[in-house]
Structure 1
Amino acid sequence: MTDAAPRLHALVEQLLGVPLPVRVRAWDGSQAGPPDAPTLVVRNRRALRRLLFKPGELGLARAWVAGDLGIEGDLYHALDLLSGLVWERGDDARGLAQALRDPQFRAAALGLLRMAGLPLPPAPPREEVRRTRHHHTRHTDRRAISHHYDVGNDFYEIVLGPSMVYSCAYWPAPGATLEQAQHDKLELVCRKLALKPDQRLLDVGCGWGSMAVHAAREHGVRVVGITLSQEQAAYARKRVADAGLTDRIEIRVQDYRDVTDGPYDAISSIGMAEHVGAEKYLEYASGLYDLLKPGGLLLNHQIARRPERDESAYELDGFIDAYVFPDGELAPLGTTVTQLERAGFEVRDVESLREHYALTLRRWVARLDDDWQRAVRLSGPGRARVWRLYMAACAVAFERNRIGVNQVLAVRAPESGDSGMPLRSRTWN
């Protein structure tokens, strides 16, 4: 058989009701579709089996991670073209998951499979995390964090560079270096928190210690950084020692729910709240409120999704949830602000950094591509493919305004109502 690609291309277009914007090359060498478009490479029939038995995003993810599917050409362009079919289903197209469940498609695709005598679907790639629901207990949170962050510090050094900051940078211009942009982000957080020498800062989800080191070195504060990742903690402690800041920084492997040594003057939570979960978010916000002294400031840096018209119909992202951030949950910005206010905080400032995260992710992907073979040796080919796809897809999602990222500055205002904030609070600009 040397006509698999034309048959697949025509079938998908017929079922979706719109032209397929990418070229397809199948396992038999056949090709179909726009000649100048990025090419979706279907390397074997196993890719079809994955899609047939798990229609939609998760089936695509399994095929990608296993190496059954690939993309040749501009990865971002391909994801941008496909996003309308996979993520942004409109009135003029049924969407991939719905099309893959269509009896006509399944009958035709199964016909292709029968010619090869292929059996039932293969097992999911070993990189996939299996779970039943989002519990967000101390045990499940620790396991989820370990899955994502204990890939290996050497792997993260490839992706993140010397700054080892795994959150949105703050770009002075698109051509700036990643190191400068990450330095500027850490300084932005410190300035928003109005840090002063010898104040106590709690850094929730401290990662590899970048914020703690910057705040102690540049602003003279005393920092407690907490993480659930043993590998991160070991790396952060070494950085603290190398910087000569062991008298000012303590790194703990500790759940945020177990911190009891307040009050703190300020709290930074940068890229951590996405792991908290909707059911636990008020507990998280209330716990941080209780750890602050009156007049203390919280800087909550968090990715947000767009609200659904019917929030009860919201479903978690199949690929991200299964391969990247198990038990991670994104909430709309309005929900986050409401929960912070319910906990007692007064929200004083909200700043969107959406475009900044798109730039950051593109730099991370470039670094991964530049040292791809070493990354594969360190993490395995499946895990490296997971990180490449998730970072590139997220860059496109930020660019298309499917998701955003926001810094929310909030204060634990005293009972007197005097927040202590200056009349013109944006002194950090």
Structure 2
Amino acid sequence: MAGSDVAERLHDVLLRLFGREAPFRIRAWDGSEAGPADAPVVLVHSRRALRRMLWRPDELGLARAYVAGEVDVEGDLLSALKRLAPFGRFIGRRPDLTAADRRELLRTAVLLGAVGPAPKPPPEESVRPLPVGRDRAVISHHYDVGNEFYSYVLGPSLVFSSAYFADPALDLEAAQRAKLDLVCRKLGLTAGMRLLDVGCGWGSLLLHAASEYGVRGVGITVSAEQAELARKRIAEADLADRLEIRLADWREVDDGPYDAIASLGLTEHVGAEHLGSYASSMFALLRGGGRLLNHQIARSGESSAPVRSFVDAYAAPEGELVPLGTIISALEDASFEVRDVESLREHYARTLRAWVSNLEEHWSACASRTSPGRVRAWHLYMAASALAFEAARISVHQVLAVCPHADGRSEVPLTRRDWIL
């Protein structure tokens, strides 16, 4: 067939798959173009990308093609995804195809030389079903991609949760310090207290709490790479006599009581099924009057259909977002008293945009330490997540809960002034 027809054929494929014209311009592997002239340009580099979409006509099929380098977006990814966002809800579900649609799609695939078996997913995709001990497998897939990779993306703070832009002029590093300090103030930390950091990452919160508030602390993670670097950072700060890092799961902590517990970005991996057990375990580890600060991403609205998503396959296998109400109910059912809830939605959107910028700036270095596919997966994941926070499809909340004394005393200040200022 004529080379000039390739892009038009691809454009027709998308129309049949999703029932509407794609709001982007297609540039095919032969140089032909089709679609609105003023729209973002999607580069289709190979026939394999079409084959992926025909076998998997949804979000995951497109994501696999992007991660494999078979599809690209010309120019700024964030800007392009924002313009394409209205089309995303049609890509996110499987199409209902008529017999005529199927015949025409097969004919197009033959004409374009894209007929063949389903392409294997890129090697960066997580394997399903996950093995026994899934928590460690999940964390390893998500975090054990090299500490150097994260140092480039997250910056020197090495904090993998939303920053807190207390002042709009703050840069990412200052905003992460502000977030760590906000957590410490909400927990009411003072010298000599014992802090448990559940999902401690690379030890940043523990280091801040020990150096600025004089606490003793224990951090747990199931990522061996995180634990190794966290211990190194603690030794370099001469805080090894006050801080301990354990390679352990939250169910393996049994040496309470603690004065305070911080959980920043861990409970997304716990899932709705185990959220009640998690809350009960944290309650049992606290002394009377002790506080828990749970920092967790939450979804808005109803759960989506049980179709494997890009995030499930490449970023957070088996991770699960639940509504804010589910989080609060689990804490209250475990006998916690919820004292404060704060949304940091806009803060996380800004944080993610900063991480995207860092990744783009250090693209080659990141790719050399992981793989080009891994970098492309994280690029897409963080850019799409930034837009999801901005559009209020997801949010993130800090929920402060207390383990009250038997007589009802909470030890929580009467007003927010103590931790806001």
Bin for the TM-score computed over the shorter chain: over 0.9
Question: Structure 1 residues 106 and 268, CA, compared in 2 at 3 Å: closer, same or farther?
Answer: same
**Cα displacement (A) at 1:165:** 0.4
Aligned twin of 1:49: 51
**Cα displacement (A) at 1:7:** 2.7
Q: Does residue 333 in structure 1 map to residue 305 in structure 2?
A: no
Aligned twin of 2:290: 296
Question: Structure 1 residues 204 and 381, CA, compared in 2 at 3 Å: closer, same or farther?
Answer: same
Letter in 2 for 1:125: P
Structure 1 window deviating more from structure 2 (152-161 vs 35-44): it is 35-44
Structure 1 window deviating more from structure 2 (287-296 vs 74-83): it is 74-83
Contact kept in structure 1, 2:23 and 2:87, CA below 8 Å? no
Alpha-carbon distance in 1 for matches of 2:264, 2:94:
37
Alpha-carbon distance in 1 for matches of 2:307, 2:114:
35
Contact kept in structure 1, 2:16 and 2:101, CA below 8 Å? no
Aligned twin of 2:228: 234
Question: Structure 1 residues 101 and 151, CA, compared in 2 at 3 Å: closer, same or farther?
Answer: farther
Q: Does residue 109 in structure 1 map to residue 105 in structure 2?
A: yes
Alpha-carbon distance in 1 for matches of 2:214, 2:184:
11
**Cα displacement (A) at 1:60:** 1.0
Aligned sequence identity (%) = 54
Aligned twin of 2:79: 77
Alpha-carbon distance in 1 for matches of 2:175, 2:408:
36
Q: Does residue 398 in structure 1 map to residue 395 in structure 2?
A: no
Aligned twin of 1:193: 187
Letter in 2 for 1:108: E
What does the per-residue CA deviation read over 1:216-250, in whole Å, with 9 as the maximum and x for residues that have no partner? 00000001000000100000001001111111100
**Cα displacement (A) at 1:185:** 0.4
TM-score (norm 2): 0.95
Which of 356, 364, 367 is equivalent to 1:373?
364
Aligned twin of 1:151: 145
Alpha-carbon distance in 1 for matches of 2:218, 2:209:
11
Aligned twin of 2:121: 124
Aligned twin of 1:209: 203
Aligned twin of 1:92: none
Give unpaired runs (5+ residues) of structure 2.
none
Contact kept in structure 1, 2:9 and 2:108, CA below 8 Å? no
Alpha-carbon distance in 1 for matches of 2:269, 2:50:
33
What does the per-residue CA deviation read over 1:124-169, in whole Å, with 9 as the maximum and x for residues that have no partner? 1111112237x9x6x1101110111110001111101110001100
Alpha-carbon distance in 2 for matches of 1:107, 1:77:
36
Question: Structure 1 residues 316 and 163, CA, compared in 2 at 3 Å: closer, same or farther?
Answer: farther
**Cα displacement (A) at 1:414:** 1.4
Aligned twin of 2:42: 40
Q: Does residue 408 in structure 1 map to residue 402 in structure 2?
A: no
Structure 1 window deviating more from structure 2 (20-29 vs 399-408): it is 20-29
Q: Does residue 140 in structure 1 map to residue 134 in structure 2?
A: yes
What does the per-residue CA deviation read over 1:348-390, in whole Å, with 9 as the maximum and x for residues that have no partner? 0000000000100111011110111111111111111111000
Pairwise mapping of residues 336-355 of structure 1 onto structure 2 (< 5 A)? 336-355=327-346
**Cα displacement (A) at 1:9:** 2.1
Cα RMSD (Å) of the superposition?
1.8
**Cα displacement (A) at 1:57:** 1.0
Aligned twin of 1:258: 252
Contact kept in structure 2, 1:297 and 1:411, CA below 8 Å? yes
**Cα displacement (A) at 1:117:** 6.0
Letter in 2 for 1:129: S
What does the per-residue CA deviation read over 1:267-293, in whole Å, with 9 as the maximum and x for residues that have no partner? 000011100011111111100000000
Alpha-carbon distance in 2 for matches of 1:38, 1:330:
30
Question: Structure 1 residues 398 and 336, CA, compared in 2 at 3 Å: closer, same or farther?
Answer: same
**Cα displacement (A) at 1:18:** 4.1
**Cα displacement (A) at 1:396:** 0.6
Contact kept in structure 2, 1:198 and 1:220, CA below 8 Å? yes
Contact kept in structure 2, 1:171 and 1:184, CA below 8 Å? yes
Residue 418 of structure 2 aligns to a residue in which SS?
coil
Question: Structure 1 residues 107 and 77, CA, compared in 2 at 3 Å: closer, same or farther?
Answer: farther
**Cα displacement (A) at 1:183:** 0.3
How many residue pairs align between the two structures?
A: 417
Residue 404 of structure 1 aligns to a residue in which SS?
strand
Letter in 1 for 2:221: T
Aligned twin of 2:60: 58
**Cα displacement (A) at 1:104:** 4.4
Aligned twin of 2:171: 177
Question: Structure 1 residues 15 and 113, CA, compared in 2 at 3 Å: closer, same or farther?
Answer: closer
TM-score (norm 1): 0.93
Question: Structure 1 residues 428 and 104, CA, compared in 2 at 3 Å: closer, same or farther?
Answer: farther
Question: Structure 1 residues 65 and 15, CA, compared in 2 at 3 Å: closer, same or farther?
Answer: closer
Residue 70 of structure 1 aligns to a residue in which SS?
strand
